Every structure is written in C-alpha cells, then in structure tokens.
A = this chain, B = another copy of it.
C-alpha cells in the first residue's frame, strides 16, 4: 500500500493528513498559517510534516494544494491569495530536495475537485464540473477524464461568469457575476434586505446561509424563497455550462452547500428547465462528499499519480 501526504495550505490554516487508498488514516494538527513568519518558515513546517508522517511508514509522495496561481508543470508558486511573500517560489523542487519525495503542487480548487473525482462524489465521472460555494464561488473542471487547467492554469472560475450581462458590477470588471448573487456575504445581504422589506426582524441580526437554512427547514417562507432564488441563479449559470461543456457530473461543495436539498432541489429544476432532456437526464448533480478533507485527499492522489508516472 502506498502512503502519501496530502497538504491543504490555506490562508487561515494548513491542514494535513496521511492518505492510504483515498482515506485519511492520520490527520495532522491544523497549523494557523499566520503563526508562521513568511515562506521560509512555512516551507520548514511542510518539511517537518513530511518527517513526522514518515514515522508511520515509508511515504511515497507529498502533494500540496495552495490558494493562488500555481504552475503544476514547473512546480512554481507564482502568487498566493491572502498569504504575502510568495513570489515565483519553486516550491516543488525545494520540497523534493529537502524530503526526497515525489512532490506535486496544485491550485487548491483543482486539488479538491481531483479528490472528489478520485475518491468522492464525482467518482467514475468523465466530464465533471466541481463548484465550491463559500465567501467566493470557485470551481474546477475534469474534462475527458483529465484535470483541465486552461491556458494560464486559470480555468474553473465559475463565480466570475455572468448570469446577467447588464447586472451589477463585480470586482474584476464583469457585470452580473454569479458570485455577486450567491457568495456567502451576498446571500446574507439579500436576506437582510428581504426580511427588512417584509417588516420581519426574524433574522436581521444574523442572516448567514446557516441561519437561513435553519429558518427554511422550519418552514419560514422568506427563507425558502431565498433558497429558491439562489438555486435558480446557480442553476442558470450551470445550465450555460451544460450547453457548452455537456458534463456527466456536477458536484457542489463548500459552506453554502450545507443547505443540502434546499439548494440542490431548485438547482436541479433550474438546470432541467433550461437545457435539453437528452442531456440533462444523464447528469448526476450531487453534493460534495469529502468536505474539509477533499484538499488533503486530492493532493495526496495527485502526488501518488505523479509518483507512478
């Protein structure tokens, strides 16, 4: 059995785990990213993780996912989101030299999608769209049985596609971006406005998606309608993707997806009503399965695959 170390390097914490056959057999303690002063200390921490987990048995490979622009082919981290100091860092080669392991580096959203494909909800899919709904709306594509990265390795930014070309302006010049409708904070904001307009003080102190799910589950009509709207908007974006990419699998994860069927049901209806039956009847649309472990498992799988090449 091959053992691989998967590392999910986030802006807030560094999560790690020892993975065997797609399962985490030992979790590392989460390390607060900001507790480490700059890239050299962070790299030391990654090397220490490899040494620590190597005590369980011989490691074959180590995969690191990072939030930012990561060139998988050259192994260079060009820039990280919310973690300063990472500029053109040849992370793969540094880690390979210091640990002796096969090392891969990958963008975090792509690694999570890879995990769901190899060991989660997108298992056995061939043309897959993975979405993560949180503060941002991110995504990644597996196309024709391969992780698809795009010309500048920037593919999968589903949150920035537009569902209304004359809609409100988003942060990068586009109008009516999906994220402006269904990002975590935008959901809270519209819920606040909806309750206020209805003269209700039900959720005005905390309109988070979590509270909104609880309210909808209790039958609150405003909350239910908001989830309907969110599902229709997300479904509209996914329907466009269905027309263009014709996937067999759509997987939706992230904090906002914890709404479960409250979200998934209107998403399915929206996609079904906006696309052809011959196509939509064959799409599997489901929630992500691996949760917070998707990055660890995906990075370990990517590293193992690189080791076997």
Residues of A that sit less than 8 Å from B by CB: 126-127, 139, 141, 143-144, 146, 148-158, 160-166, 172-176, 232-233, 236-237, 239-241, 243-248, 273-276, 278-279, 282-283
Contact = CB atoms under 8 A, between A and B. Distances in A.
Nearest to A272: B173
A70 to B, nearest CB: 14
Contact of A151 (B163, B175, B232, B248): B248
B126 A151 contact: yes
A127 B151 CA distance: 6
A250 B112 CA distance: 29
Contacts of A173: 273-275
A162 B239 contact: yes
A157 B127 contact: no
B246 A150 contact: yes
A117 to B, nearest CB: 14
B164 A164 contact: yes
27 contacts: A127-B151, A141-B244, A144-B144, A144-B148, A150-B246, A150-B247, A151-B246, A151-B247, A151-B282, A152-B246, A152-B278, A157-B243, A158-B243, A161-B240, A161-B241, A162-B236, A162-B274, A164-B164, A164-B166, A165-B233, A165-B236, A172-B274, A174-B239, A174-B243, A175-B236, A240-B240, A244-B244
A161 B157 CA distance: 16
Nearest to A159: B243
Contacts of A146: 144
A240 B176 CA distance: 11
Given A157-B243, A173-B274, A275-B172, A152 B232 contact: no
Contacts of A162: 163, 236, 239-240, 274
A152 B244 contact: no
Contact of A246 (B154, B243, B246): B154
Contacts of A241: 161, 244
A275 to B, nearest CB: 7
Nearest to A78: B278
